[in-house]
Chain A
Amino acid sequence: DTAVSQTPKYLVTQMGNDKSIKCEQNLGHDTMYWYKQDSKKFLKIMFSYNNKELIINETVPNRFSPKSPDKAHLNLHINSLELGDSAVYFCASSPRRGGTDTQYFGPGTRLTVL
């Protein structure tokens, strides 16, 4: 009964490739997020969607394109991968948008760009 799931868990790919990471939540939440955690563990928000609508886009290169086909899914597509994209990417969800809600995180996808 995984609440927030991501696939794949590990992704190793060459520079210049295009890849996608998928996220699904079965909690019935309205809001979903993508975070990037670098090698120093700094966790930075990238995007947030509320009911399939983009509400946060934090100065992320346009090589990164989120897509939310429905409120239970938020996928992340990355074009022309670069070495600096290597990180762990976390998906999260919360019941509503706004700062009073707990966020539920997925297990992460470790992306390594060679």
Chain B
Amino acid sequence: SQQGEEDPQALSIQEGENATMNCSYKTSINNLQWYRQNSGRGLVHLILIRSNEREKHSGRLRVTLDTSKKSSSLLITASRAADTASYFCATAISGGSYIPTFGRGTSLIVHP
């Protein structure tokens, strides 16, 4: 089964700055989802982008998908201290049975 790999592993920024994290995967996908995990909590779904979409927005979040490079990015604009969390991407393989695959996540710290 394929795996999404997030990069960087850790990111530390000041409040108000933008945060960008990336996800790379290995084989063709149906869709890619981004999740957030606050410390000591379960994952919370943020956004889903389908393989025929290139960009999607939700509030301060912008997700892009480049299927030719097999990569996706999550941009958080005007970050807040409350955005401090780990961010994971999850992929669903094209034409295969759905085995959700997550990476190790990007740990984001936003300093007030």
A interface residues with partner B (beta carbon < 8 Å):
4, 33, 35, 40-45, 55-56, 58, 90, 92, 97-100, 102-108
Contacts and interface: CB of A to CB of B under 8 A. Distances in A.
A40 B93 CA distance: 24
Helix, strand, loop or mixed for chain B's interface? strand
B12 interface: no
B40 A108 contact: yes
A102 B33 contact: yes
A90 B41 CA distance: 9
Contacts of B20: none
A1 to B, nearest CB: 15
B16 interface: no
Given A41-B107, A99-B31, A102-B48, A108 B41 contact: yes
27 contacts: A35-B102, A41-B104, A42-B102, A42-B104, A43-B88, A43-B102, A43-B104, A45-B101, A55-B97, A58-B1, A58-B99, A99-B31, A99-B93, A99-B98, A99-B100, A100-B30, A102-B33, A102-B48, A103-B35, A103-B45, A103-B90, A103-B100, A104-B45, A105-B42, A106-B42, A107-B42, A108-B41
Contacts, number: 65
Nearest to A99: B92
Contact of A90 (B42, B50, B97): B42
B7 to A, nearest CB: 14
A6 to B, nearest CB: 9
Contacts of A45: 99-101
B-side interface size class: 20 to 34
Interface in B25-60: 30-31, 33, 35, 37, 40-45, 48, 50
